[in-house]
Amino acid sequence: MRVLVTGGAGFLGSHLCDAFVARGDHVACVDNLSTGSLDNVAHLVGRPYFEFYEHDVSIGIDVAGQIDAVAHFASAASPQDYLRMPIETLAAGSRGTEHALQLAEANAARFVLASTSEVYGDPAVHPQPEEYWGNVNAVGPRSVYDEAKRFAEALTAAYGRTRGVNAGIIRIFNTYGPRMNPHDGRVVTNFVTQALDGAPITIYGKGDQTRSFCYVDDMIRGIVKMIDSRESGPVNLGNPEELAIAELAALVLQTTGSSSPIAYRPLPVDDPTRRRPVITKATERLGWKPEVPVAEGVCTMVEWLRARQGCRREHK
Ligand code: UDP
């Protein structure tokens, strides 16, 4: 197969490129490098089965030749990034998704949209099954991401219904692992970096809000299964192991042996109070479930961030 991965130099996108290259597929990786980084695909650049295109998907996708599958992952994804780039985020979710769908249509290719648990907003139903329609503040600051992804879902469903595109939607819940940008403000990287530096662990609000954290290798297995299927979804992909943010802070302190103090900071506007996926659909239709417990995944994150810090010190 020749797979086009938009956002292919990002955290999930680059792991996805690796998964396809590893099994012998060709990959066309498209990224505008606004939040992704060439470092994430540096080991692939120059390999015969890998092409890199520096394009902004909201302007157009200029990739020639047959494409068999389109994985549409191009978007800012961390709250810090999408709040900094609100219009660009809306453009990637709307025009970017349309360009990616048009390319899939022209090539009769499989199309998979990387949607998000954020389509559930601050959920009034817990845990969240795909049938839940969500609770999103349409004009709040997070809406630039939530509504962009909701529009992207609507567009994907419409191309599936009316244009015959073999299109599917996955809703990705919080995922962590190596290649996350340690400076993009997300909680796992923030806490581990703070703990390793002996800096205060910044808990936003009281820390009783919950998230369910999935390790990247598990997530990538699920995404590849979705791309290989004809499932339209939406399908939740995430690890149902739910933790309060204060519990995550305690786990990070325990794993690192750090004595960092806890510092409480204001809760961001519209921060969802709880989040946990129902993954029955993914299990029944894709034969997928996550395998890495959060305690083990956090350990790997500590090792990865420690090694990065070590490298930086050696190069000073
Ligand atoms: N959070 C926190 N301290 C941090 C960063 C994040 O308490 O230094 C909280 C944040 O308010 C949210 C949760 O951790 O409740 C997850 O935040 P993240 O930005 O990783 O992802 P989100 O699920 O909000 O997109």
CA nearest ligand 1 atom 5, residue: 187
* Inside any domain, residue 228: yes
Taking the C-alpha atoms of residue 13 and residue 5, their distance in angstroms, rounded to an integer, is 7
Q: State the total domains in the chain.
A: 1
* Inside any domain, residue 202: no
Q: How far is CA 184 from CA 49, 79, 81, 195, in A?
A: 30, 8, 7, 16
Taking the C-alpha atoms of residue 45 and residue 68, their distance in angstroms, rounded to an integer, is 21
* Inside any domain, residue 89: yes
Mean of pLDDT values over 82-89: 97
Phi and psi dihedrals of 228, rounded to 5? -75, -10
* Domain enclosing residue 164, as ranges: 2-178+213-240+275-292
Cross-strand pairs, 201: 262
Task: Check if 79 has its Cβ closer than 6 Å to any atom of ligand 1.
Answer: yes
Taking the C-alpha atoms of residue 110 and residue 165, their distance in angstroms, rounded to an integer, is 7
* Inside any domain, residue 7: yes
Q: Is the pLDDT reported for residue 311 higher than 70?
A: no
Reduced to 3 states, what is the DSSP secondary structure of residue 159?
helix
Is 145 assigned a catalytic role? yes
Phi and psi dihedrals of 139, rounded to 5? -120, 5
Q: Are strands 175-176 and 167-172 parallel, antiparallel or unpaired?
A: unpaired
* Inside any domain, residue 308: no
* Inside any domain, residue 150: yes
Query: How much distance in Å is there from the Cα of 148 to the middle of ligand 1?
Result: 20
Give, for ligand 1, the residue of 181, 194, 211 to mutate: max count of ligand atoms closer than 8 Å to Cβ.
Answer: 211
Q: How far is CA 110 from CA 84, 154, 169, in A?
A: 32, 17, 11
pLDDT digits (tens, 9 = 90+) for 29-57: 999 999 999 999 999 999 999 999 999 99
Mean pLDDT of the chain: 97
Residue 54: other Cβ atoms inside 10 A: 11
Q: Which position among 53, 82, 120, 145 bears the catalytic label?
A: 145
The confidence score (pLDDT) of residue 310 equals 76
CA nearest ligand 1 atom 4, residue: 187
Query: In the numeric block, which tokens belong to residue 269?
Result: 């506007």
Taking the C-alpha atoms of residue 102 and residue 115, their distance in angstroms, rounded to an integer, is 18
pLDDT digits (tens, 9 = 90+) for 101-159: 999 999 999 999 999 999 999 999 999 999 999 999 999 999 999 999 999 999 999 99
CA nearest ligand 1 atom 19, residue: 186
pLDDT bin (cut points 50, 70, 90) of residue 313 is: low
Taking the C-alpha atoms of residue 287 and residue 276, their distance in angstroms, rounded to an integer, is 19
Domain at 122, CATH number: 3.40.50.720
Atom of ligand 1 nearest to the CA of 186: 20
* Inside any domain, residue 259: no
* Inside any domain, residue 12: yes
Query: How much distance in Å is there from the Cα of 207 to the middle of ligand 1?
Result: 9
What is the separation of C-alpha 95 from the centre of its chain, rounded to a whole number of angstroms?
Answer: 19
What is the separation of C-alpha 152 from the centre of its chain, rounded to a whole number of angstroms?
Answer: 15
Indicate the DSSP class of residue 39.
G
